[in-house]
Each structure stands twice: as C-alpha cells, then as structure tokens.
Amino acid sequence: MKTVLFLASCILLSACSSSSIKENINKAGDAAGQTAGEFIEGASKGVQKAFDVNITIDSKLAAKGIECGKTQVASDSLGTDNLLIVYVIFNENFKGKLTAKAFDDNSLEMGRSSVQIQGKKDEAKYVEFHFDPRTNLDSKHQLTVE
C-alpha cells in the first residue's frame, strides 16, 4: 500500500499542467483501487480456506443415498463457530435422522448435533447442525455425519 502512495506522489510531482495532474491522479487512484481490490479478494480466499472443514460420511448413510456437497461453519445466535451447514444431496429417497459429531485434534468427541430430515431422490438442500454454544468448530477438527 505504501508503494501505491509513493507512486501516486511521484506522478503528482511530475505533472506539468492541471489537466495532466487530474489525469495522473485518476491513474494513480485506479492503480490503488485495483491493488486494494486484489488484496481484499486474496485475504477473503485465505480466510475461507482456513475455515474449510472436512466431513466424513458414514458408509451406512452413503449406502442409503446420502451425499454431502459444500460445507461451511458459521455462528448461531448463541455461540461462536458452532453451526455446521451441510449441503445434503439425496441420491435415493430418505427419511430419518442425521447426526453430526465433532472431534478435537486428539480425536476426542467434543460435540454432537442431530436433525430429522426428509428428501426425495435427486433433491438437495442445506441442513443446519446447531452444536452446543461451547463447541467451537475449527478447521483442524474432524467432523462426521452418521
């Protein structure tokens, strides 16, 4: 960011006419805006990658036609990073309970949440698992759905 400000200052100092000054200011502003935009986009992707979570589906559940797509961790109104959102794909008709379990980096269970769901073959929807407010899901934790 300092480089952009230095560049803008150099352009301003080297300008000879007022129209040239305005044009150079616009160029410097454009360059600064592009740099800031690229930084924000890169930082956003870095944060998103840091919080990607891996979910393992129980083989019995997979045999019943349940598959997981995109997953994300969020905060509900009571806790911090205690909401697991899973895009569930129904390859077969399904009606029953899904249980998500969270394990810490020592493989100790630290949270569990269950939901009743129903879906028809070729449908998909987001399912929310609300863990206890004290359960803070992290990228290093292992999550399973049974």
Give residue 47's pLDDT. Answer: 39
pTM of the predicted structure, to 2 decimals? 0.65
How many structural domains is the chain composed of?
2
Judge if 141 and 97 occupy the same domain.
yes
Judge if 63 and 29 occupy the same domain.
no
Judge if 128 and 69 occupy the same domain.
yes
Judge if 100 and 60 occupy the same domain.
yes
- DSSP strands (E only) in 50-93: 55-57, 66-74, 83-90
Judge if 38 and 59 occupy the same domain.
no
- pLDDT band, residue 78 (cuts 50/70/90): confident
Judge if 32 and 71 occupy the same domain.
no
Residue 116: CATH number of its domain: 2.60.40
Domain boundaries, position 82: 55-145
Residue 103: exposure state from Cβ atoms within 10 A (0-12, 13-18, ≥19): middle
Give residue 33's pLDDT. Answer: 59
Judge if 61 and 117 occupy the same domain.
yes
Judge if 140 and 94 occupy the same domain.
yes
Residue with the larger pLDDT of the pair 48 and 53: 53
pLDDT tens string 50-70: 356 789 999 999 999 999 999
Residue 88 and residue 67 in contact, taking contact as beta carbons nearer than 8 Å: yes
Judge if 46 and 59 occupy the same domain.
no
Judge if 32 and 98 occupy the same domain.
no
Judge if 116 and 73 occupy the same domain.
yes
Residue with the larger pLDDT of the pair 133 and 10: 133
Give residue 43's pLDDT. Answer: 39
